[in-house]
Structure 1
């Protein structure tokens, strides 16, 4: 496991260079197979280097696309707030506070998580490649950071079945940033719009249901 001081000093950028890099799934497999009882967020920062913006967005959003125990969306959604806010602000390097960097999960859980994500990542990575670069300019990436921050806030809220659509949208944006694939970013935009429409529909249904219940109750008591 890396030294804590080196974890905290990791300087990472949302943009990658042109050299050959390991795929996200390959880096996850390396992390899962490394020694030590736990995997910390600091370890992930070091492993992905200048791709940590997209990597952490993907790592904390993608599991929420799958059915998870109650409350897990809040646990996974909290670090997303730090990452997406900094992407929105256009920071060239990702900074994470010490208490976030030192958060960890057991290696057994990490292995289980990577095993569940593996088939999805493998299929996605076969389709991804650098293209449609116009969707990934500096200004557009800051806008993506803003919409992902909004989606992360929604993901953080305890909305029944409301975490999967925004998680999918953030996952698509993250894959686009990681692989410099503007088409994946476009999918992220479509999914984000769909997520907001679904949230609006759910909210309207909840408000209407509460109003109908109160009206009915008022009729009984009146």
Structure 2
């Protein structure tokens, strides 16, 4: 149980330990977490876009592309992540990344207290395909969300919720992410353009 409850903090620790110098390349993050760790990588990239590190120009679009490619490969049943060079070579500010990780520590510690394996049938096909397809659709809209303040961060937070559920085998988080995934595009459109 300890491994499950600290899984999210462990991912943040791994990300933090990969940071060095003034900037870090996307490929260095992937190498640190491992190309087989789809859940960890999805969690990290979506959390980066949720945190103050989202102030890095274009980060929401980069995260959207990474998650889109990742989800396509998950649906296809691949065991090892592949990303194109123009993504893996992109660099992020170490200072902003560290600030983002520090900001995420408290909410992650809070959430971890309630996590446990449950409703694990949701992590098998065909159940798993539903949230993956919804995330796939959401990532197509995320680049446009850069023009609406905080909307990209909200979308990324919902993806992070799903990834956290996947990482900790907590089906309750997956159900919560499903509900939010269905509502995010509508909410963003209404508050961004409808009002």
Q: Same fold (TM over 0.5)?
A: yes
Partner of 1:160: 148
Partner of 2:25: 40
Contact 1:64 1:73 in 2 (8 A): yes
Report the count of equivalent residues: 189
Partner of 1:174: 163
For structure 2, the 5+ residue unaligned runs are none
Displacement after TM superposition at 1:147 (Å): 1.0
Contact 1:154 1:166 in 2 (8 A): no
Give distance in 2, aligned partners of 1:103 and 1:24.
Answer: 24
Contact 2:24 2:92 in 1 (8 A): yes
Deviates more, 1:20-29 or 1:93-102: 20-29
Change (3 A) 1:91 1:112: same
Q: Equivalences for 1:1-222 in 2 at 5 Å?
A: 20=3, 23-34=7-18, 36-37=20-21, 38-49=23-34, 52-66=37-51, 68-69=54-55, 71-157=58-144, 158-161=146-149, 162-202=151-191, 205=194
Secondary structure of 1:93 counterpart: coil
Give distance in 1, aligned partners of 2:45 and 2:136.
Answer: 13
The structure whose RCO (Cα within 8 Å, separation 6+) is larger is 2
Change (3 A) 1:124 1:40: farther
Moved over 6 A (4+): none
Displacement after TM superposition at 1:181 (Å): 0.9
Contact 1:77 1:152 in 2 (8 A): yes
Displacement after TM superposition at 1:167 (Å): 2.0
Write the deviation string for residues 66-112 of structure 1: whole angstroms up to 9, x where unpaired. Answer: 56447442243332222122223332322122332232323323211
